[in-house]
Structure 1
Amino acid sequence: MIQSPTWSQIQPTPSSSNSETYSSFTNPSYVLGPGDQVQIRVYDYEEYTGQKVILPDGTIALPLIGSLNAAGLTIEQLEQALTTRLQTLLVNPVVTVELSTTRPVVVTVAGEVRRPGPTELQASATEGGVPTLSKALNAAGGITQDADIQQVTINRQTANSGSRTITVNLWEAISSSNAESDVILLEGDSIYVPRLSADAQIDRRLLARSSFAPETIRVRVVGEVKNPGEIQVPPESTLSSAVAIAGGPTEDARLSRVAYIRLNEEGRVEQETIDLRNLTDNYQIQEGDVIIVPKRSDVSVIDFAGRLFGPLGAFLNLINGANSLFQSF
């Protein structure tokens, strides 16, 4: 469940209509269109009951009454239209309509997500129904560790070429019990996840364990481990857990001088040497990190890295994405 925004967070552009309410943005009535599948039930009349897909021309077909336009209607409006049409054939028909599967909805997700860009969403009733903000973030690969989920914005085009922007605090969804309903998305919505400020008070480990985070991230563990190379680890993993996922250290591993190397936001390479002899630590791994477990006989990590990767310059190129250097592992 996601914390809904307050009125002050809804900021209309000059061309937007001020009559739009808070609930109409966060929980808009779903408008049917070609490709949607609905379950129609008419009490005591099985011949009218069943799954119907809205055809490319926007219609559905039922026995005796023929084609009926469904595109552009809400579920409630389609129920009423069916009831009106069936009243010419049946006595007091009781009609219910449920949305079974939604047509693909394309939204754009930008900012601190793993796969920014246009994202296609589709959900069945068993998956929770219509496309939502949380589903869009998951479809975009999940948020990065630097995502500021307290200020996620959604921009929506409205009638008369206007637009509205709403700011949603997703942090409430994972840090408190007061979170409200997920935000329903419409075709063409644009979502932006900003970067977390340096002084932001957010528990990154809790963020990494949330449903908005990716299931795994890629890191490389090289040297004296049983299965060196690129591995997939949960985003809340520590250095020692990454070593364990890589098969654990070999008998020749020098765990007192394990190094991890990271390319920071400014493009500079950071290196730190960690004592992992107890196979425990409090360092949270990040996408693209490199962990080096040297041999007992090596004088230094740099000496070991030089033998692994050649000159230091080539090693730094590795940090910047020269994946071919790892193909020998």
Structure 2
Amino acid sequence: MRSHRHMDTRWWRWLAGGMAGAQIVAGLGLSPAGMAMDGWVAQQISSPTRYVLGAGDRLNVEFFNIPEYTDQYQVLSDGTLHLPQAGTIAVEGLTLDQATQAITARYAQVLRRPIISLNLLQARPVTVAIAGEISRPGSYTLAAASPDSPSTLTQVLQQAGGVTQSADVRRIQIRRVSDRTLGTESVTINLWDLIQAGDIRQDLTLRDGDSIVIPTATTVNPEESRRLAAANFAADATQPIQVAVVGEVNRPGPHTLRLNTNLTSSNDGLEALTVSQAIRVAGGITQLADIRDIQVRRVTHTGQEQVIPVDFWELLMAGNLQQDLPLQNGDTIVVPTATALTSAELAELASASFAADSMTVYVVGEVSAPGAIALPPSTSLNQAILAAGGFNNRARRSRVELVRLNPDGTILQESIDVDLSETLNAADNPSLRPGDTVLVGRSGLASFSDTLGLLLSPVTGVASLLRLLGL
């Protein structure tokens, strides 16, 4: 048989095309590797030989040297083909090779050494069920794009809205009816190998009736979550999601997140809705926020709650984008209250992209424009006084009172020596917090003048009355 391996390429092309190459090569005892792999022949031998036929498949049945029998046939609803001279032949559940053998065996009864080839022209729609950590579980019908491009696992995941962030893509189960035992077989698919190593074998071709189960991950890895969110079979980031943000944010409560290219442009190119975006939509963190211990609470499809820790101090100081966890619909973000923050930490928080754009403080008393003032976060005491127009002529310029409402409901009141030339420091020029009140009192001279005016007001009142009466 070795001489056949060196036959002219044109002979192989004719043999493979006009005489159903896969059939004849097998008959000659050759493997496809011995063939000249030009594009057309490669396309023929790379067809989905493991495809299982069923009702609705459209086939081309070619009879060598009998053109009147060659035609296109469709598998009927009972799983059979109706062929000339041979009648009805059951092909449901058979691969193309098995069906070719069955048809050849039937025609061997009426023809002398029949040579028959079978090609799939149009695959039937594939109906599968999907459950677990998927955006829209249920039953789906997929139409194959072409005979050489059957429906795959990632295609149905995309149609079902993508896997959730709680999905364990390393242990996806596909259950199908066995061709041999008619029982159910199960295979485990690792789509993480597809993401990491491009292992296309993990993108399994689906069959009609397959069931797909996506389990819940026992733990959530922030780095892997970002990679999963970028996969084409992850949940669609262009769809809005509902989340809740509670704790030390300026507008706690439920919020709707929508993808914003301006927000994602600095997010390592990741098109996903993340914790930092949720905090910004909630008005930003307050100056009491403990960003080291933020939690994302997530309910899985089984009803269990996952608690995922997030350290935004690591994001702020080291630029660790892995801490900016992608979110999914229904997540709750909890921003706890810090027990103690230094002035340096307050300054860092105020400059963060997820901090509030402004805060409201109150400067009252002897300033030019007393009242509520909107200022950037962590504005110093001196800056707040200047923003209120500065001291007026009656002000006591050496000392002011700072009144602060603490988170536990207590009130802090302290006297601060003022020097408008001081830089930011905790003693003489502290950072203010939202809701702080700065009270600027009267100078000693202004107080004396006011008191004197109060004491003399009855006398001046009597004198005015006497003058009015002409006495």
TM norm structure 2: 0.42
- Please state if 1:208 is matched with 2:229: yes
Report the equivalent of 1:152: 172
Report the equivalent of 2:327: 286
Q: CA contact under 8 A between 1:142 and 1:212: conserved in structure 2?
A: yes
Residues 191-210 of structure 1, C-alpha deviations (whole Å, 9 max, x = no match): 22122333547522322222
Q: After TM superposition, where is structure 1 displaced by more than 6 Å over at least 4 residues in a row? A: 293-298
Q: How far apart in 1 are the matches of 2:183 and 2:241? A: 47
Farther-moved stretch of structure 1 (113-122 vs 56-65): 56-65
Q: How far apart in 2 are the matches of 1:208 and 1:284? A: 10
Q: Give the 3-state SS of the residue equivalent to 1:47 in structure 2.
A: coil
Residues 30-62 of structure 1, C-alpha deviations (whole Å, 9 max, x = no match): 432221222222334433334321112322233
Report the equivalent of 2:298: 265
Q: CA contact under 8 A between 1:101 and 1:122: conserved in structure 2?
A: no
Paired AA for residue 139 in structure 2: P
Report the equivalent of 1:304: none
Report the equivalent of 2:79: 58
Q: How far apart in 1 are the matches of 2:186 and 2:120? A: 27
Q: Give the 3-state SS of the residue equivalent to 2:124 in structure 1.
A: coil
* Shift in CA distance, 213/297, structure 1 to aligned 2, threshold 3 Å: closer
1:173 positional shift? 0.8
Residues 300-321 of structure 1, C-alpha deviations (whole Å, 9 max, x = no match): 9xxxxxxxxxxxxxxxxxxxxx
Report the equivalent of 1:132: 152
* Shift in CA distance, 140/199, structure 1 to aligned 2, threshold 3 Å: closer
Report the equivalent of 2:105: 84
- Please state if 1:183 is matched with 2:204: yes
Paired AA for residue 259 in structure 1: V
- Please state if 1:97 is matched with 2:118: yes
* Shift in CA distance, 61/205, structure 1 to aligned 2, threshold 3 Å: same
Residues 95-145 of structure 1, C-alpha deviations (whole Å, 9 max, x = no match): 21122333333322111111112222331435612x433333223222122
Q: Give the 3-state SS of the residue equivalent to 1:265 in structure 2.
A: strand
Q: Give the 3-state SS of the residue equivalent to 2:175 in structure 1.
A: strand
Report the equivalent of 1:143: 163
The count of corresponding residues between Structure 1 and Structure 2 is 248
Residues 180-225 of structure 1, C-alpha deviations (whole Å, 9 max, x = no match): 353343444322212233354752232222232244442279xxxx
Q: How far apart in 1 are the matches of 2:130 and 2:296? A: 24
Q: How far apart in 2 are the matches of 1:219 and 1:294? A: 22
* Shift in CA distance, 161/111, structure 1 to aligned 2, threshold 3 Å: same
The structure whose Rg is larger is: 2
1:161 positional shift? 7.8
- Please state if 1:111 is matched with 2:132: yes
Residues 69-93 of structure 1, C-alpha deviations (whole Å, 9 max, x = no match): 3224331122123223444565543
Paired AA for residue 131 in structure 2: A
Q: How far apart in 2 are the matches of 1:164 and 1:59? A: 25
Q: CA contact under 8 A between 1:217 and 1:287: conserved in structure 2?
A: no
* Shift in CA distance, 177/161, structure 1 to aligned 2, threshold 3 Å: closer
Q: Give the 3-state SS of the residue equivalent to 1:218 in structure 2.
A: coil
- Please state if 1:197 is matched with 2:221: no
Q: Give the 3-state SS of the residue equivalent to 1:119 in structure 2.
A: strand
Q: Give the 3-state SS of the residue equivalent to 2:139 in structure 1.
A: strand
Q: How far apart in 2 are the matches of 1:156 and 1:197? A: 26
CA RMSD in angstroms comes to 4.8
The structure where helix makes up a greater share of residues is 2
Paired AA for residue 239 in structure 1: L
Report the equivalent of 1:123: 144
Q: How far apart in 1 are the matches of 2:64 and 2:53? A: 23
- Please state if 1:49 is matched with 2:73: no
Q: Give the 3-state SS of the residue equivalent to 1:198 in structure 2.
A: coil
1:295 positional shift? 11
Q: CA contact under 8 A between 1:152 and 1:193: conserved in structure 2?
A: yes
Q: How far apart in 1 are the matches of 2:259 and 2:147? A: 29
Q: CA contact under 8 A between 2:280 and 2:356: conserved in structure 1?
A: no
Q: Give the 3-state SS of the residue equivalent to 1:180 in structure 2.
A: helix
* Shift in CA distance, 115/200, structure 1 to aligned 2, threshold 3 Å: same
Q: How far apart in 2 are the matches of 1:281 and 1:200? A: 14
- Greater relative contact order (CA < 8 Å, ≥ 6 in sequence): 1
Structure 1 unmatched ranges of 5 or more: 1-26, 222-228, 244-254, 274-279, 301-329
Q: Give the 3-state SS of the residue equivalent to 1:100 in structure 2.
A: strand
Q: How far apart in 2 are the matches of 1:79 and 1:118? A: 32
